[in-house]
Each structure stands twice: as C-alpha cells, then as structure tokens.
C-alpha cells in the first residue's frame, strides 16, 4: 500500500496511463528461475522496446515516456510464471517538460520487437543456442505476448493506486487455500472462480494447455512452489524508467534552481514521509491516529520516546493517571494460603480439626494408581 500511494501521489504525473503486460514462452521461463538477474534485464528490454516505439510514433529521439516496471513471477496459481507488468504514460515528455500525447502502440510491431530483444538477451547470456531461436521462430504460437488493454485516464489517481497494488501483490493468499486433506494435500484455488467451458479437442484452445482453476499439491511440493517466489535479498522488483526514473526529479529540480538562481527550500524538499505511518493506519483501520479523541482537533508529534527512557514514560503515565501508585502486592503467607484452600473444600468452621469433612481431604496418589482408577 505504501508503494502504491507513493507512486500515485509522488511519482506519476497527472496524465493518462496504460498498463502493458509482456510475457515470454515457457521454454525460456525456466532460465529466470535459476538466474534471477535475467528478470531485471527483461525489464530493461521492455523499456527499450516501449521507448523505441514511442520515439517512432513521434519521429523524435529527444522524448521519453514515464514508465514503472514490476516483476511478477506468479500467475493465477503458484507455478513459476515470470512476466513484466508496466505502467507507462500515454505520451512522452520533452526535455522542457512538455507532455505530448501518443496514440495506442502498434501491438504487432511491439510484439516483434519484444521477441527479438528477448532472443538477443538470451543469446548474449549464453542461455540458448541459435538453433533454438530458429526453431522457436517456426512455432505457430511463439509464446510471446504483449497486452495494453488497461487504460487509466488523466487524473485517475485512485485507479493508479489500485493498479500498482495489483502489480506488487503477494504471490500467495490464505483466502485461496481452500482445503488441506487428511493426507496433508493442499488444494490451492485460482484467482477467478468462474466456471470454464470444456475446450474443443479440435480447436486451437488446447494448444497452450487447458487452463486450470486449482492445484492439488503434496506438503513438500506446496512449500517448494510457494518459496520459489521469494526474491533474493537486495533484489529490486519495481524499477523506474524515463521521466519517472529515480534521478529525473532531482535533475529537474536542479535545472529549475539554476534557472531561477534560488536554492531549493527545505519545505519544498520534504517528502512528507514522516506522516506515512498515520496515513497507512487511517486507510487500513479507518481511524485517524492524529485526531484528538477529546476535541477532534489535529494532533502533532512532539517527540519520540525510546525504551531506555523509562523515567519519562513513568512521568507521563502518572500525569494521565495510568500509572499504579501503590507497590505490587506481596505474595501471601503460607498459613493464609492453607486456610484459603481448606475453605474452598469445606463449609464447616475451621476452629477445630475434628470438624473437617474427611471426604474432602486431599489425597496424593502415584500415576499408576491414578490410571487404574480412572
């Protein structure tokens, strides 16, 4: 949620955007499972193809779009399905900051460029041989795909936030874990629960395999399928390019400061991240933690109290009447404890031991005698 809010409010310009999804064939997916660096290089390939297509549509080389690429290694189920989800502007920015709108991308040209870029990458990395490329080019269904069906109009900040949350979602959901059998088998359900028609054996729908809406896995297979989506430490699953790259805002501010001959103020340089925790609590629990429960006014953070400051915490709780003034109760004496136990097992007076009920006396037995009489 924090990433989606940051992208929607701080990164994306108030222009139209669209989602582009790029996939690769199953024949090439296995290499990314054992060489995770390929996923980042596939993002670079996607940026190269989309940037070149945008430049071709305007016949200009000095313009760049704003693009955010998210790496996903899962599909509807837990199997390994790496693909790139891209959020890109429906236009490009000039060096002066002017936005120029673009028509929709030519999907056929973009698909060919994506296929060539991926083949060149795999050949350069030594993952496949030229004979494999020649063979795959003869396939009637190459396995490459490019889709741009999701469109977000200008100013749709909520739509961008929802889309980024979907692009960065967790690969596993407990709500889709529908059953764990007596033998330990796990039934994992797909995202969409709609019924699907039985495919025509003579049609083309069976070439890519019949789509499944659930998986049945043994315990070890389930753990293996789930843990394969855990990225290596330090890997980046979200990448920013072009107008949205990490260095672009700083370069633009530097250019503006040089043009105005005024240093940027500290207030303008602040990002407001210090209040991110309050915003997240308000969005999740629908309660504003900075709203005063007495008057409803807006509170502000005065200071931070850390665990070593025990005396400060005690003073604050004493001022609020929440700190116990009396010392902790001492443990009871042995004689008082015996009287309380005897009172719980008899209704008679304890002035004489002869008045006690023998049937309610405590008797200690060993474990074997207890089990025999149980």
The residue extents of the domains of the chain are 2-171+229-253, 172-193+210-222, 334-373
Alpha carbons 72 and 170: distance in angstroms, whole number:
9
- Overall average pLDDT of the 189-213 stretch: 63
Residue 319 Cα distances to 131, 298, 322, 328, 370, angstroms: 79, 21, 8, 20, 56
Question: Partners of 87 in the beta sheet?
Answer: 19, 68
Of the listed ranges 75-84, 150-159, 251-260, the least confidently predicted one is 251-260
The stretch 12-20 carries a mean pLDDT of 93
Confidence at residue 146, expressed as pLDDT on a 0 to 100 scale: 94
The candidate with the shortest Cα–Cα distance to 82, out of 20, 120, 36, is 36
The confidence score (pLDDT) of residue 319 equals 85
- At 32-69, the pLDDT tens digits run 999 999 999 999 999 999 999 999 999 989 999 999 99
Percent of the chain topping pLDDT 90: 40
Position 250 scores a pLDDT of: 79
Q: Residue 88 is inside which H or E element, if any?
A: strand 80-89
The confidence score (pLDDT) of residue 296 equals: 83
Note whether 241 and 49 are within 8 A (CB).
Answer: no
* Residue 271 pLDDT grade (very low, low, confident, very high; cuts 50, 70, 90): very low
CA distance 58 to 102: 8
For the chain, give the percent of residues with pLDDT over 70: 78
Task: Kindly state the DSSP code that residue 10 receives in the 8-state scheme.
Answer: I
pLDDT for position 84: 96
Q: What is the DSSP-derived secondary structure letter of residue 90?
A: S
Given this model, what pLDDT does residue 349 score?
46
CA-CA distance, 53 to 117, in Å (whole number)? 13
CA distance 320 to 183: 56
Residue that wins the pLDDT comparison between 120 and 357: 120
- What is the pLDDT, as a whole number, of residue 308? 77
pLDDT of residue 365: 62
Question: Would the pLDDT of 360 be above 90?
Answer: no
Give the whole-angstrom CA distance, residue 175 versus residue 177: 6
* pLDDT tens-digit readout, 290-340: 888 888 888 888 877 877 788 888 888 888 888 877 666 777 666 555 555
pLDDT at 142 over 80: yes
- Does the pLDDT of residue 221 top 70, yes or no? yes
Task: Give, for 51, the enclosing helix (H) or strand (E).
Answer: helix 37-58
Quick: pLDDT tens for 225-239: 989 999 998 889 999
Is residue 19 packed enough to be buried (19+ CB in 10 Å), middle (13-18) or exposed (0-12)? buried
Q: Lowest mean pLDDT: which of 131-145, 243-257, 270-284?
A: 270-284
| pLDDT, average across residues 131-144 | 92
The more confident residue out of 283 and 41 is 41
Judged by DSSP in three states, 306 sits in: coil
Q: Average pLDDT, whole number, for the chain?
A: 82
230-258 mean pLDDT = 86
Specify the DSSP class assigned to residue 367: H
Confirm if 292 and 299 have CB atoms less than 8 A apart.
yes
Q: Which helix (H) or strand (E) holds 42?
A: helix 37-58
Query: Could you report the per-residue pLDDT of 73-124, keeping only the tens digit for each?
Result: 998 888 899 999 999 999 999 988 899 999 889 999 999 999 999 999 999 9
pLDDT, position 148: 92
Q: Residue 341 pLDDT more than 90?
A: no
């Amino acid at each position: 949620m924090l990433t989606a809010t940051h992208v929607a409010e701080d990164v994306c310009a108030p222009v139209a955007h669209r989602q582009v999804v790029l996939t690769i064939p199953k024949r090439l997916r296995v290499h990314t499972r054992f060489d995770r660096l390929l996923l980042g290089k596939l993002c670079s390939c996607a940026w190269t193809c989309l940037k070149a297509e945008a430049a071709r549509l305007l016949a200009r080389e000095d313009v760049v779009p704003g693009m955010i690429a998210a790496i996903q290694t899962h599909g509807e189920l837990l199997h390994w399905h790496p693909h790139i989800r891209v959020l890109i502007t429906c236009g490009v920015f000039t060096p002066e900051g002017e936005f120029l709108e673009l028509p929709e991308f030519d999907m056929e040209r973009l698909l060919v460029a994506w296929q060539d870029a991926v083949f060149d990458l795999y050949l350069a990395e030594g993952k496949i041989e030229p004979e494999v490329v020649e063979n795959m080019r003869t396939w009637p269904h190459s396995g490459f795909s490019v889709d741009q069906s999701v469109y977000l109009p200008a100013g749709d900040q909520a739509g961008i936030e929802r889309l980024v949350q979907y692009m960065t979602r967790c690969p596993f959901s407990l709500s889709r874990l529908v059953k764990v059998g007596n033998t330990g088998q796990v039934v994992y359900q797909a995202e969409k629960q709609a019924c699907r028609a039985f495919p025509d054996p003579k049609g083309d729908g069976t070439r890519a395999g019949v789509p499944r809406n659930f998986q049945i896995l043994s315990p070890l297979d389930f753990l293996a399928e789930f843990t394969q989506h855990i990225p290596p430490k330090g890997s980046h699953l979200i990448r920013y390019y072009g107008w949205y790259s990490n260095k672009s805002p700083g370069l633009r501010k530097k250019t503006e400061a040089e043009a105005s001959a005024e240093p940027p103020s500290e207030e303008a340089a602040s990002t407001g991240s210090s209040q991110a925790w309050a915003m997240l609590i308000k969005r999740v629990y629908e309660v504003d933690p900075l709203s005063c429960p007495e008057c409803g006014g807006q509170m502000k953070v005065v200071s931070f109290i850390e665990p070593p400051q025990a005396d400060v915490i005690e003073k604050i709780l004493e001022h609020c009447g929440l700190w116990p003034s009396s010392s902790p109760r001492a443990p009871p004496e042995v004689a008082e404890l015996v009287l309380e136990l005897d009172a719980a097992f008899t209704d008679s007076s304890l002035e004489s031991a002869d008045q006690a009920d023998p049937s309610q006396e405590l008797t200690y037995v060993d474990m074997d005698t207890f089990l025999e009489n149980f």
